[in-house]
Amino acid sequence: MVEELQDRVAVVTGAGSGIGRSIALALAGEGVDIVVADVDGDAAIAVADQLRAVGIQSISLQVDVADRTAVLELARVAYEHFGDVDILVNNAGVSLRPFRALWDTDYHDMVWLMGINFWGVVHGYDAFVPRMRESGGPKHIVNTASTAALRITPGAGAYTVSKSAVSAFSICSRSEFELAGEPIGVSLLIPGPVQTNIDQGERHRPASDRSENRVVKEWISYLQHGEPTGGGPLPGNPSGLRADPVDPDVVGQLVVDAIRENRPFVLTQPAPEMILRDRLDQIITSGRDVT
């Protein structure tokens, strides 16, 4: 476990705003030096400047995590500048707007979404884990999933698929590190509704590839403001999670505590317990019918 954070080094992707920025600031508050990575280079610079203003060593890089070469370069620069990396936060993520059924989800939509949300995590492991293992000592990885992986949100199937993949990848890697006796902890961050700009992620997508150039269906709209963010009860799921969005600044401290205690899961709101219990009961019941 990385119990002592002072003078450690962390790399945080998607750190230019929202949850990533919150994590970077919270770690900096514990004396951690930060590599700020974001597809928005100006936003990354602004966060790094803010950290240096309070005495934290920080550098920024513009990085598209869907690009393996860019993430390998991120690792090269991080190790060249700081000598080691103790904490890796694979946080960068996007979602599709407007919502659409999976049959209305274009192939390019899926490639773009999986490239950032899932392959961004894989690229992070590819670039950093070999060096983390080689340098020795306690390390920690945080991967950002979503409560979308715990419940069903019709119209957000592609996003749910990507975050479910991150969830499985994280759980498996944590178990493998433990089995191999590697001092590398893994925490899966599972945010519920958080006040971020994730719904504006397509602004960094090439114009020729954006979904608004195709006919898509707005699949579901049930929140007070008419924006289907997946935060409320769903048709067929009367017990669905309903939670008010939390300020992203809350998330950073939750992640810091999870790193110190090597917690496997970090939730920003209570889990959708009834949905999970109902799903588990259906799985168990279906298994009983097998002869």
Q: Specify the DSSP class assigned to residue 124.
A: H
pLDDT at 287 over 60: yes
- Residue 201 pLDDT class (50, 70, 90 cuts): low
Sheet with 9-13, edge to edge strand ranges: 58-62, 33-38, 9-13, 87-90, 139-144, 184-190, 265-267
Show the domains of the chain with their CATH numbers.
9-288 (3.40.50.720)
- The kind and range of the H/E element at 62 are strand 58-62
- Residue 225 pLDDT class (50, 70, 90 cuts): very low
Q: Tell me the Cα Rg of the chain.
A: 19
Q: How far apart are CA 149 and CA 154, in angstroms?
A: 12
Return the pLDDT at 99: 81
Q: What angle do CA 66, 136, 182 make, to 5 degrees?
A: 80
Give the number of other CB atoms < 10 A from CB of residue 76: 12
Return the pLDDT at 291: 63
Alpha-helical (H) ranges within the chain are 18-28, 41-53, 68-82, 107-117, 119-135, 157-179, 248-261, 273-288
116-143 pLDDT tens trace: 999 999 999 999 999 999 998 999 999 9
- Residue 240 pLDDT class (50, 70, 90 cuts): very low
**pTM of the full structure:** 0.86
38-68 pLDDT tens trace: 999 999 999 999 999 999 999 999 999 999 9
Q: Which residue has the tokens 């269906």?
A: 217
Q: What is the mean pLDDT of residues 141-159?
A: 90
80-116 pLDDT tens trace: 999 999 999 999 999 887 788 888 888 999 999 999 9
Q: How far apart are CA 240 and CA 274, in angstroms?
A: 7
Q: Which residues are catalytic?
A: 159
217, amino acid identity: K
Return the pLDDT at 86: 98
Helix (H, G, I), strand (E, B) or coil at 212: helix
Q: Take residue 167 and report the two structure tokens written for it.
A: 């969830």
Percent share of the chain, pLDDT over 90: 62
Lowest mean pLDDT among 35-39, 115-119, 195-199: 195-199
